[in-house]
Amino acid sequence: MKRYFILLAAGLTMLTVNSCSVVSLALRTASLVGHSALLAHDLTTFVGSHKTAYTFELVSMTNDGGIENASIVNPVADSESKAEFKDDLIDFTFQYKYNCLVPAFKGQSNQYLTINWNDIVMDGSRKLLWRDGNASLSTITKAGYNEANLYVVYDSVSGTYRTLPLYVSQAKADDANLVGQTFTLNFPIINVDKVITYTATIKISNVSVK
- Check residue 100 and give its pLDDT: 92
Q: In angstroms, rounded to a whole number, what is the distance separating the alpha carbons of residues 139 and 142? A: 10
Residue 141 pLDDT class (50, 70, 90 cuts): very high
Count of structural domains within the chain: 1
Mean pLDDT estimate for the chain: 80
Q: What is the pTM of this model?
A: 0.78
- pLDDT tens across 76-111, in order? 999 999 999 999 999 999 999 988 999 999 999 988
Residue 2 pLDDT class (50, 70, 90 cuts): very low
The DSSP code sequence of 95-151 is EEETTEEEEEEEESSSS-EEEEGGG-EETTTEE-EE-S-S--EEEE-SSS-EE--EE
Residue 133 pLDDT class (50, 70, 90 cuts): low
| Percent with pLDDT over 70 in the chain | 74
Mean pLDDT to the nearest integer, 139-165: 86
Q: In angstroms, rounded to a whole number, what is the distance separating the alpha carbons of residues 121 and 194? A: 18
Q: Report residue 166 CA to chain centroid gap.
A: 13
- pLDDT tens across 190-204, in order? 998 899 999 999 999
Looking at per-residue pLDDT, the higher value among 206 and 131 belongs to: 206
Query: What is the residue range of 155's domain?
Result: 2-209
- pLDDT tens across 10-55, in order? 443 333 344 454 332 222 333 343 333 333 333 333 345 678 999 9
